[in-house]
Amino acid sequence: MATLKSIHACRDRFAQFAIYTAAFMVCAAFVWILSDLVLGGAAHLSWDFLVDSPRDAGRAGGIGPILVSTGLVLMVALMAALPLGWTTAVLLAEYISADSSFGYAVRYSLHVLACVPSIVFGLFGNAFFSIYLDMGFSILSGGLTLACMLLPILISTADAGLRAVPDTYRLSAAALGMSRTTTLFRLLLPAASPSLAAGLLLGTGRAVAETAALLFTSGYVDRMPGSLLDSGRTLSIHIFDLSMNIPGGDARAHASALVLITALLLLNVAAMRLAAGWQRRRITE
Amino acid sequence: MRGMKIKSAVHYVIFIAALFVVAGWSRPGNAASQKLVLTGASTIAPLAGELARRFESLHPGVRVDVQTGGSARGVYDSRKGTADIGMVSRSLKPEEQDLQAHTIAWDGIGIILHASNPVASLSRQQIIDLYSGKIINWNAVGGRDARVTVVNKAEGRSTLELFLTYAKLKNSDIKSHVVIGDNSQGIKTVAGNPNAIGYVSIGAAEYEAGHGVPIKLMPLDGVAATVANVRNGTFPLSRPLNLVTRTLPEGLALEFIEFARSGQVHDLVEAQYFVPVSVLLH
């Protein structure tokens, strides 16, 4: 009896140890990456680095125009993908039943779209937006290509979020005589806002990290973009080029990556705050 | 509350409309100012970007856009007219003689090993045997007892084609363990593996070796792999960096090509560790 007890205690302790080790290793990976970037790039970070144009193929100067291009590409992508994606999610979750053949077809095509490698989106964007629609290498064609990539993420997270709202909400709203639209905007979307925000963050993260889809659409030009029809190099393409194609570009690549990670962290915090605030305000009001 | 919702929707529509107006309005502006598009070899792209920057500063109102994608893309785009000028980091092949090539610089390709590898020189036959899998251990060429890691370039890269011509091999003959893309990636791969062998642009390798990266350049056919030996034409594995056009260049394209070949950009060419054309003796 006593030995059985000690075996159980031993097993418990081992399980606990394994769980803690796993969690520690996850944190360690993040800390390792971050400290590597900070060690390699922090010395080059300065206000001038953030606003200057790159010089000597990126070995000197800063990343000002590249930050602007990245922002513009992201803005175009979200502007096109958010209304389209969230409307589709509302249709899937609220207006058609889960086992209808149309819903099945839409979901299936989204799953396929989510599995497509990003370079395929890049080639599609180059053929369709850049050449067929004659947008050339431009921020607009890059942003629209990214929008196609973001749709599956935005739709499936929003769809899952809306489905997770308990049916009692819908029944209570119907009992109170609220219209379907009012229920949607005043109750269901605010209740699902954390997953909307999560989808938005995942999408933004994927968009900002994208290299392959943008190399052939938004392009490689590191000049300050004058309009959405100019080519503009995004931050991740800049990092890729500096570390893989420019001898002596590593330090600046580290600094640029540090900027990218910091921007993503800030965006993360901001979106979470916003979602929490929206949820509280709309439902309690 | 309802009013506010409608207002925010209206704001959104106005914003989108404004965006398209701005996008549409700037189009004729771009068409009016002259624009030159270059696509092609990733080796040339950083140099072309610097050339473009200086060209723009000398010619106000002109925009030169440089895109990458590899030499094959440079040939394809200049044929199709998607690009005004293609960038090709090798000589044109017999089937590409419909294009006009304009050499703007020279680059050498050297074999690199990890700095700790005791092998001091390799004959052409030994290199061929290493790459075709006949030699799989470094002790066969006087090194330590360790398996060779063969680093090869990806299909479509000019460096690969040049190396295959030098070694008289087909790509299918090569038994590679790692396939890489750009030069710096090759240097990082070899620097991280004491038993690796690879080949990269000499300029890039010289720069990195001079900055403490543990790699060494091997002499080829007894000639040291240095930018100086590429410059005097004695190094056996060198390649021209070309700008290609579909027809004889004219107008802005001609101006840019002449500018890129002129003495006023030697500093830019050398800053990217290439050899300017007019300095070359052969």
Distance (Å, whole) CA A77 – CA B76? 29
In chain A, what residues touch B29 (CB-CB under 8 Å)?
226-227
What pLDDT sits at residue B182?
Answer: 80
What pLDDT sits at residue A211?
Answer: 85
pLDDT digits (tens, 9 = 90+) for B208-258: 888 888 898 888 888 888 888 888 888 888 888 889 998 888 888 888 888
Distance (Å, whole) CA B280 – CA B261? 12
Buried b (16+ CB within 10 A) or exposed e, A52-76: eebebbbbebbbbbbbebbbbbbeb
Distance (Å, whole) CA B102 – CA B242? 5
A33 and A58 assigned to the same domain: no
Distance (Å, whole) CA B52 – CA B39? 12
Q: Among all chains, which residue has been given the structure tokens 């989108």?
A: B16
pLDDT digits (tens, 9 = 90+) for A34-79: 898 888 888 888 888 888 888 887 788 888 889 888 989 999 999 9
Q: Which band of pLDDT confidence, cut at 50, 70 and 90, is reported for residue B4?
A: very low
Quick check: B47 and B103 in contact, CB under 8 A?
Answer: no
State the nearest Cα–Cα gap between B183 and chain A, in angstroms.
6
Q: Please determine, for residue A271, whether its predicted confidence score (pLDDT) is greater than 60.
A: yes
What pLDDT sits at residue B30?
Answer: 45
CB atoms within 10 A of CB A83: 12
A99 and A168 assigned to the same domain: yes
A248 and A232 assigned to the same domain: yes
Query: For residue A110, what are the domain limits?
Result: 47-284
By three-state DSSP, how is residue B122 classified? coil
A53 and A40 assigned to the same domain: no
In chain B, what residues touch A219 (CB-CB under 8 Å)?
65, 67
Quick check: A163 and A196 in contact, CB under 8 A?
Answer: no
Residue A56 maps to which CATH number?
Answer: 1.10.3720.10
More confident residue, B282 or B203: B203
What pLDDT sits at residue A101?
Answer: 87
Q: B107-231: which CATH architecture?
A: 3-Layer(aba) Sandwich (3.40)
A184 and A228 assigned to the same domain: yes
Q: Please determine, for residue B3, whether its predicted confidence score (pLDDT) is greater than 80.
A: no
A31 and A138 assigned to the same domain: no
In chain A, what residues touch B12 (CB-CB under 8 Å)?
83
Q: B200: which residues sit within 8 A by CB, 6+ positions away?
A: B109, B110, B112, B159, B183, B186, B187
ipTM over 0.85: no
Contact check, Cβ <8 Å, B181/A247: no
Contact check, Cβ <8 Å, B42/A245: yes
A219 and A111 assigned to the same domain: yes
Q: Which band of pLDDT confidence, cut at 50, 70 and 90, is reported for residue B23?
A: low
A71 and A180 assigned to the same domain: yes
Number of domains in chain A: 2
State the nearest Cα–Cα gap between A105 and chain B, in angstroms.
30
DSSP state of B238: E
Contact check, Cβ <8 Å, A220/B45: yes
Q: Please determine, for residue A22, whether its predicted confidence score (pLDDT) is greater than 90.
A: yes
pLDDT digits (tens, 9 = 90+) for B41-82: 888 888 898 898 888 888 888 888 888 888 888 888 888 888
By three-state DSSP, how is residue B52 classified? helix
Q: Structural domain boundaries of chain B?
A: 2-106+240-279, 107-231
Superfamily of domain B2-106+240-279: Periplasmic binding protein-like II (3.40.190.10)
Chain B positions touching chain A (beta carbons under 8 Å)? 5, 12, 16, 19, 22-23, 26-27, 29-30, 37, 42-43, 45-47, 49-50, 53, 63, 65-69, 82, 181-185, 187, 203-204, 207-208, 211, 271-273
Q: Could you tell me which of A160, A177, A169, A164 has the C-alpha nearest to residue A92?
A: A160
Q: What is the DSSP string of chain A?
A: -HHHHHHHHHHHHHHHHHHHHHHHHHHHHHHHHHHHHHHHHGGG-SHHHHHSPEEGGGTEE--HHHHHHHHHHHHHHHHHHHHHHHHHHHIIIIIS-TT-HHHHHHHHHHHHHHHS-HHHHHHHHIIIIIIIS---S-HHHHHHHHHHHHHHHHHHHHHHHHHHS-HHHHHHHHHTT--HHHHIIIIIHHHTHHHHHHHHHHHHHHHHH--HHHHTTT-S--SPPSSTTS----HHHHHHHHHHTSTT-HHHHHHHHHHHHHHHHHHHHHHHHHHHHHHHHHHH-
What pLDDT sits at residue A19?
Answer: 94
State the nearest Cα–Cα gap between A276 and chain B, in angstroms.
19
Q: What is the pTM assigned to this prediction?
A: 0.80
Fold agreement between B2-106+240-279 and B107-231: yes
**Which chain A residue's Cα is nearest to B9?**
A83
**Torsion angle (degrees, nearest 10) of CA B37, B38, B42, B43:** -140
Query: What's chain A's average pLDDT?
Result: 86
Q: Please determine, for residue A27, whether its predicted confidence score (pLDDT) is greater than 90.
A: yes
A139 and A29 assigned to the same domain: no
